[in-house]
Amino acid sequence: MSDVAGRVSVSVRPHPRGGGPTATGGGTDSSMPTSGPLVDRYGRVHDDVRVSVTDRCNLRCVYCMPEKGMTFQPRAALLSFEEIVRVAVVARDLGVTSLRLTGGEPLVRKDLVTLVARLSALGFRDLSLTTNATLLAPLAAPLAAAGLRRVNISCDSLRPERFAAIRRRGELATVLSAMQAAERAGLTPLKVNVVLLRGENDDEVLDFAQFARTTGRIVRFIEFMPLDAQGEWDPARLVPGREIHDRIHARWPLRAIDVGSVAPAERFAFVDGHGEIGLISSVTQPFCGTCNRLRLTADGAIRNCLFSDDEVTLRDQMRAGASDETLALAFRRAVWAKFPGHAINEPEFLRPTRSMSMIGG
Ligand code: SAM
Ligand code: SF4
């Protein structure tokens, strides 16, 4: 429910760390800035938005979706391209400089190239895409021509049978040739996202390091987060970023690359000059203190943290005739309501009710 004055009702569960007002109508206080960049109560400036264009996917990765029984949003619940572009304009005018399209699998959304062209015309400094790459090869050149700058490709194993076991659908060979197509199209630097699971693919750490060294692709190891739809997250399956670093460093010495204060990935170059890896240690070394991200879910809610269920539904406001000023105020409230951190490691942590594929990873 919403009204054009910007009051919205959303499902909000209390956050274990307490924190400020919610992103709903109660999210404003007199100290909330009404101009300038999107800043929260902890001084974090938000200039990066992840836009989920669909909650659907053509794969069923074990850490993200159940093999059977996923239910997806009806088409009418998703933002139209016009609505996405409208929200992007509001975000850009609030100082957002970086936009990443994601999902679900963004390339299952029809005519994504058209959306990319429209977003590219808005002049973001960075426009990128996260994809499982199963549908990417024929689209890489058209996406680049439409203004996409770069892609992150998810690939959790370099062994065909294991790839099939973890991703459940799709083939490793398709993904590897899509990586080449992306590079030919200039969608670089190419980053490869890897989720390691203890006992399943963690014996491939050095294979992936070698892959980074020989291809020049930046392999980024993402810790398994409690965002799977099955609710089977078990910290014992998580492989800590520090362990990954140490295993690689023992074979090929690494040195840290200073990335400034806002990058979630810790970056490391191989000392001998052959490539780079990244560690996204969201669970064991949270980067909440420098988080600059917001998410727009496929059904049009602003979400200020992957792990907070406090959402502001822009879709309903837009469909009720809200002005751009009202949408901008909703952005400010969402940012102002952001908690200092996700609290995964605290006993009171509440798992988000929506999975990564629904929120937009
Ligand atoms: N379908 C696209 C893909 O797989 O790249 C984009 C969406 S996916 C949700 C974005 C990223 O989130 C992928 O790199 C995926 O591996 C990662 N991911 C999904 N569920 C995760 C989880 N529970 N923990 C950590 N990473 C996860
Ligand atoms: Fe689909 Fe990406 Fe989730 Fe895998 S991680 S099921 S490819 S949305």
What's 146-186 look like in SS3?
A: HCCCEEEEECCCCCHHHHHHHHCCCCHHHHHHHHHHHHHCC
Ligand 2 centre distance from Cα of residue 318 (Å): 29
* Residue 23: per-residue pLDDT: 52
CATH of the domain at 147: 3.20.20.70
Which two structure tokens, joined as six digits, stand for 234? 């078990």
Residue 263 resides in a domain: yes
**Alpha-helical regions (H) of the chain:** 81-93, 112-120, 140-146, 160-167, 172-184, 205-215, 241-251, 314-319, 324-336, 356-359
Residue 18 resides in a domain: no
56 lines ligand 2 (CB under 6 A): no
Residue 35 resides in a domain: no
105 lines ligand 2 (CB under 6 A): yes
* Residue 345: per-residue pLDDT: 61
Q: Which of 60, 100, 195 maximizes ligand 1 atoms within 8 Å of its Cβ, making it the mutation to test the pocket?
A: 195
Residue 37 resides in a domain: no
Segments of the chain with pLDDT less than 50: 1-21, 24-26
228 lines ligand 1 (CB under 6 A): yes
Domain that holds residue 256: 47-359
Residue 15 resides in a domain: no
* Residue 15: per-residue pLDDT: 45
pLDDT (tens digit, 9 = 90+) per residue, 198-208?
Answer: 999 999 999 99
* Residue 6: per-residue pLDDT: 29
Count Cβ atoms within 10 A of the Cβ of residue 151 and give its class: 0-12 exposed, 13-18 middle, 19 or more buried.
buried
Residue 324 resides in a domain: yes
Residue 228 resides in a domain: yes
Residue 84 resides in a domain: yes
* Residue 261: per-residue pLDDT: 57
Domain count within the chain: 1
